[in-house]
Amino acid sequence: MDSDLWLVVAVVLLLVVAGYAAVLLVRVFRARRLLLDAGVPLRSKALFWAAVVYTVSPVDLIPDPVYLDDIGVLLIALRALHTAAARSGSDREDEPAGPK
């Protein structure tokens, strides 16, 4: 019975991490617009691409069954990219899509 409980906990934890990774993937695809914007500094764009390379590389700080380090690196890079875009005035996600 005890091993069944640990198995259920492991599966639930894996599903939570996979769901969070899916949300993060959507945020990465939305960040494409910021990567093309000329107002965002090159340093922030390079940090983002370095995080993507780290995520897909086989070298990790924590072994690969646990993707917490990959998720953390991508979150930091996305936050830096959005902060740089907000400073440059390029982050317009709050504006309505229709004409003014």
pLDDT given for residue 97 in this prediction? 40
**pTM (two decimals):** 0.61
Nearest to 81 by CA among 46, 52, 29, 38: 46
pLDDT at residue 6 tops 80: yes
Grouping H, G, I as helix, E, B as strand and the rest as coil, residue 11 is helix
Query: Is 57 or 8 the better-scoring residue by pLDDT?
Result: 8
The percentage of residues in the chain with a pLDDT greater than 90, rounded to a whole number, is 0
pLDDT in tens, 55-66: 777 777 766 666
How far apart are the C-alpha atoms of 93 and 85, rounded to whole Å? 11
